[in-house]
Amino acid sequence: MKHTRYFMVVLALAFASCLKEPVDDGPGPNPEKAHYAFDWAMIADSTQNALTGNFWNQEKYFNENSAGKTNFNYWPNAHALDVLVDGYLRKNDPAIKKRMDDLLDGVKAKNGNTYINYFYDDMEWMTLACLRAYEATADPRYKDVAVLLWNDIKGGWDEVWGGGIHWNKDKSKNYKNTPANAPACIIACRMYGVSQQPDDLMWAKKIYDWQKSNLVDPATGMVWDGLNQDGSGTVNKSWLFTYNQGVFIGAGVELYKLTGEAMYINDAVRTANNALGGNFTKNNILKEEGGGDGGLFKGVLVRYLMLLITDGSLSSTDAAKYASFLQLNAETLWLQGTSRPQLLFNTNWQTTSTTSDLTTQLSGAMVIEAAARLKEMGLLK
């Protein structure tokens, strides 16, 4: 692979600026060219290959990091399934479907021969991935897992603090947070699309109402992390994470699709506009949120910004704004935050690292796949 000794001055330009595209000679920047052209489909293929090459374990799951730590972690592997679905939707490649099937088997084996987990939010990520896998492949195995998990997740709801789903199964702590509720709303909406059971739509609306009433700033759309973390019943307004913004955006989009009610999409757009601001970005590039769990946060926001673009019935102006934001972040990561030849992504999308956590790699893969989809839709300049 070519060296990454040059950096694009154009990436420092204003938010709406875009790179020109002469020709592309393969993945990796070419320092001999004045401009770098992005073949996003090729780059996404390379990213999928790097995910497998650097993280896949022969026991059919993805390792914790690229540096030899082979621990199995449930929720990143759920997102890995989601990323494989991205690749499958783009290519319809049987080899990717085989990897998806293997991962589904591996997750169950490594999780004690069950998909049921102690953390409600972890199960929700897996449910979302399985619903997308079912939609993409029509394989009933994925639907069966999603139904199993959804039935367990609903058991996390009670009327403490007026409703909401607990973070984990130790309900005595009464900690209810956005990662356990906004994704559950998305699940309920999508499950309604599969089942046409009115009860699922009812669940979606009541979860959304609780989430919005308790964990969203009505003025700015900022989404807070959780309620009662310290045992006092107060809302934690200091933990501001990108993935919380993302899942609330996704919940609004999904309910808008089902109901046509403008309130839901207006909520999603307000939160999205706030998420593009200074709390989460610097010079329009998503900020670093660390490795480990934090490495995945940006990717979740990216995924649901994409859903807002594709399914939110936005004006062309808003769609172009969000597409340009994702394009700039994908270009920056590929040119500045990618270690070659391994194609490892860093937590900071403007510097490189020789190793990567699975979580961090997945966030990078999500923004690359987003760029490939936007290019296919004709929304990149």
Spatial distance between the Cα atoms of 131 and 213, rounded to a whole number of angstroms: 27
Burial readout 251-279 (b: 16 or more C-beta within 10 A, e: otherwise): bbbbbbbbeeeeebbebbbbbbebbbeee
- Per-residue model confidence (pLDDT) at position 291: 97
Q: How far apart are CA 348 and CA 353, in angstroms?
A: 9
pLDDT number for residue 233 = 85
**What pLDDT was estimated at residue 51?**
98
Is residue 341 reached through a cis peptide bond, with omega within 30 degrees of 0 on the bond before it? yes
Q: How confident is the model at residue 13 (pLDDT cuts 50, 70, 90)?
A: very low
Nearest to 375 by CA among 311, 331, 344, 342: 331
* Over residues 238-261, mean pLDDT: 98
Q: How far apart are CA 49 and CA 36, in angstroms?
A: 22
Q: What is the pLDDT of residues 16-61, one digit of tens each?
A: 333 323 233 344 544 443 478 899 999 999 999 999 999 999 999 9
CB-count burial class (<10 Å; 0-12, 13-18, 19+) for 168: middle
**pLDDT tens readout for residues 122-159:** 999 999 999 999 999 999 999 999 999 999 999 999 99
Predicted pLDDT at 10: 31
Q: Is 292 helix (H, G, I), strand (E, B) or coil?
A: helix
Alpha-carbon torsion angle 263, 79, 151, 311, nearest 10: 30
Report whether pLDDT(326) > 90: yes
Instruction: Report the chain's C-alpha Rg in angstroms.
Output: 20
Q: Give the SS3 label for residue 59.
A: coil
Reported as a pLDDT band with limits 50, 70 and 90, residue 11 is: very low
Query: Sign (positive/negative) of CA torsion 242, 245, 250, 253?
Result: negative
Where are the domains positioned within the chain? 39-376
**Predicted confidence (pLDDT) per residue in 282-297, tens digit:** 999 999 999 999 999 9
Give pLDDT, residue 242.
98
**Which pLDDT does position 229 carry in this prediction?**
79
CA dihedral angle for residue 75, residue 338, residue 283, residue 5, rounded to 10 degrees? 170
Strands 176-177 and 61-62: unpaired
Where in the chain does DSSP place strands (E)?
Answer: 56-57, 61-62, 176-177, 226-227, 235-236, 281-282, 285-286, 338-339, 344-345
DSSP calls for 30-43: -TTSSS----HHHH
pTM of this prediction?
A: 0.91
Q: Which amino acid is at 159?
A: E
pLDDT score of 18: 36
pLDDT of residue 230: 80
In CATH terms, is domain 39-376 a member of 1.50.10.20? Answer: yes
Predicted pLDDT at 3: 34
Residue-level pLDDT at 1: 37
What pLDDT shows up at residue 299? 98
Tell me the pLDDT of the chain averaged across its residues. Answer: 92
